[in-house]
Amino acid sequence: MCLVVKRLHDLGASGWFALPLIFGGFMLLPLIMISPEVFVTTFNIFGLAQLVGYLVLLFMPGQSVANSYGEAFH
């Protein structure tokens, strides 16, 4: 979680965006009370969104200038 927050800060984004990436699946648990099929479908879609989010964090270049979270590393 710490590394995801640091990477988000490197991109100039708030660390709060790490919560859906890390704990997103647990936020969907109330859907299982509605219908297991809805839960499985939503969980699969959210899992794909998490994968895309992690790929963005992996491949997107950081900011080359200082931002509100600190100096840029070169």
Query: Is residue 55's pLDDT more than 90?
Result: yes
Q: Which residue has the higher pLDDT, 65 or 31?
A: 65
67 belongs to a structural domain: no
CA distances from 1 to 6, 19, 20, 38 (A): 9, 9, 11, 28
Count of domains in the chain? 1
Does residue 59 surpass a pLDDT of 90?
yes
Residue 35 in any domain: the answer is: yes
Residue 42 within a domain: yes
Range of the domain at 43: 19-61
**Model confidence pTM above 0.75:** no
Burial category of 58 from C-beta neighbours within 10 Å (exposed 0-12, middle 13-18, buried 19 and up): exposed
Please report whether residue 28 resides in a domain. yes
Backbone CA torsion sign across 18, 22, 25, 29: negative
Would you say residue 74 has pLDDT above 70?
Answer: no
Q: Is 71 inside a domain boundary?
A: no
Whole-angstrom CA distances from 6 to 21, 46, 72 are 14, 23, 12
Q: Is residue 66 part of a domain?
A: no
The pair phi, psi for residue 67, each rounded to 5°, is -125, -170
- Residue 5 maps to a domain: no
